[in-house]
Amino acid sequence: MIPSYRSVLLTTVMTCLGCSFAHATTDALINDAIALDRAGKADAAYAMLNEHLSERANDPDFNYALGLVALDSNHVANAILAFQRVLAEKPDNAEARAEIARAYAQSGDIDTARAQFDTVLQDPSLPDPVRQRFTQMVQDYSKQIKGTGSDVTGYIEAATGYDNNINTATSLTSVTLPIFAVFGPASLSGNARSIHDGFTDLQGGVSAVKGIARQDRIFGSALGSYRVNFSNADFNQGSVTGTGGYSHSLANHDSISISGQVQEFFLGQKSYRQAYGAIGQYTHVLERGRALSVSAQFFRFNYDNQPLQDANRYAAALSYADRFFVVSTTVGREKTLQSAGDAQSNYFGNANISAEVPLSAKLAAVGGASVDVRRYEAADAIFLKERKDERIDTTIGLKFHVGKSFSVRPTLTYTRNFSNIAVNDYSRVTASIGVRLEF
């Protein structure tokens, strides 16, 4: 599909310069190809025209149309060649020069793109609306070339709700311990069983990106969250996370980034765990706003007063992002630093999908689902067997846009953890309603 901004731009150019698109394409072959392109079938349009290239290579109208559909079907190099053939015959063709500038920009050559737009701006007959648009594009390219510019965004969110299992514990009243089986089942009470409670949850974050060179950026973010239970302060939870890193954009618009991250996790108003590590990621940009990413991660976990749980985490992830949803999968291993803690070492794999689908101008459906599988490496000292867990998480909700940056979000989540060790087998339901302000 021809991008909307370019369709409007070209219509203005051609109309005002007395060179309408209909006039530029006077035969059925070109008309049919452009119709296919506008119907979202750019690949078919390109194949149709490219088949006749050898016989019509000196036809400016044909080359102009070929350049358009080549660009829309991601044949950028061939689009540049087609527009060059137009300009060889008609060096004052502003439309072709604007399109070749866009092609150079799409290929990552923003220097040449800026130069081509500069040439178009010298045309005294260029309409003011188009001139303003081109001038803004030149300024944007100049900013990219200099590596200047920065962006800061953030959000604040508050929610309240009900959680039927704030401590992720079993609902069983008793379990049999193998080493004490002769004494019969052991009773469970207090924190060993699931506890329900209401809660208030506060979250916030800020992130910043700054250009340091044409294709280089540094970025950073700080995130914080805190959940307060109405009656059970021992299970209040909070975290503070800081991230900083560097990214480099390639000529094809793909990017490579590396970042470091630190986190402090609190449980019951006390420090519980620290984590720090690094993430390397490669992102491949696809057409229509999609992206495919692969990453490798390393993290170190340190637990306060629980040295047997200290561990290194190694993981690799693959994700795909579309306009409305993200799908990802991760595999890895958590290995305790001391062999005495091997019952906590595990291999894991998970897959998840999250989506936000607009239902109207001010309403969207949000949701997600994930599956996590873990296999532990040594027998539990009490239950005398290696732990095996499979967890399912699902989330559904709505997002009401009250204003441009303000939304209301009712959410319902369900978690079910299946485990061969009874005390780790549990279910959990959380319902909440929150408000979010983005800036």
Residue pLDDT, tens place only, 45-73: 999 999 999 889 889 889 999 999 998 89
Give the phi and the psi of residue 101 in degrees, each rounded to 5: -65, -45
Spatial separation of the C-alpha atoms in residues 223 and 225, rounded to whole Å: 7
User: Which backbone phi and psi does 127 adopt, to 5 degrees?
Assistant: -60, 150
Domain shared by 394 and 413, yes or no: yes
Of the residues 85, 111, 146, which one is the last residue of a structural domain?
A: 146
Q: Are residues 305 and 169 in the same domain?
A: yes
Are 65 and 33 contacting, i.e. CB atoms less than 8 angstroms apart?
yes
Instruction: For tokens 């002769």, name the residue.
Output: 182
What pLDDT was estimated at residue 16? 38
Strand partners, 109: none
- Please tell me whether residues 95 and 156 are part of one structural domain: no
User: Is the same domain home to 290 and 411?
Assistant: yes
- CATH number of the domain enclosing 95: 1.25.40.10
Residues of the chain below pLDDT 50: 1-25
Tokens 């049999």 found at: 176
**Closest C-alpha to 193, from 209, 176, 206, 174:** 174
Q: How far apart are CA 146 and CA 213, in angstroms?
A: 6
For residues 91 and 163, state if they share a domain. no
Those residues with Cβ within 8 angstroms of residue 10's Cβ, 6 or more apart along the chain or in another chain: 21, 95, 98, 99
Query: Is the same domain home to 307 and 393?
Result: yes
User: Which helix (H) or strand (E) segment is 13 a member of?
Assistant: helix 4-16
Return the DSSP state at 233: G
* pLDDT computed for residue 187 by the predictor: 82
186 and 270 together in one domain? yes
Same domain, residue pair 276 and 288: yes
Query: Residue 170's closest CA among 424, 413, 430?
Result: 424
Given this model, what pLDDT does residue 4 score? 39
| CATH code where residue 215 lies | 2.40.160.40
| Statement to judge: residues 80 and 180 lie in one domain | no
Q: β-strand 346-358 against 325-336: which pairing, if any? A: antiparallel
**Domain extent at residue 77:** 4-146
> From residue 304, how far is each of 168, 277, 346, 433 by CA, in Å?
20, 18, 20, 33
pLDDT of residue 18: 38
Helices (H), 52-185: 53-56, 60-72, 76-89, 94-107, 110-121, 128-146
Number of domains in the chain: 2
Which residues share a beta bridge with 336?
311
Choose one of 146, 161, 191: the last residue of a domain. Answer: 146
Identify the pLDDT of residue 404: 81
Report the distance separating Cα 277 and Cα 106, nearest Å: 35
Instruction: Report yes or no: 290 and 321 within 8 Å, Cβ to Cβ.
Output: yes
Which strand (E) or helix (H) includes residue 33? Answer: helix 28-38
Are 53 and 189 contained in the same domain?
A: no
User: Do residue 300 and residue 228 come from a single domain?
Assistant: yes
Q: Check: CB of residue 134 under 8 Å from CB of residue 118.
A: no
- 361 and 234 assigned to the same domain: yes
Domain boundary among 129, 146, 163: 146
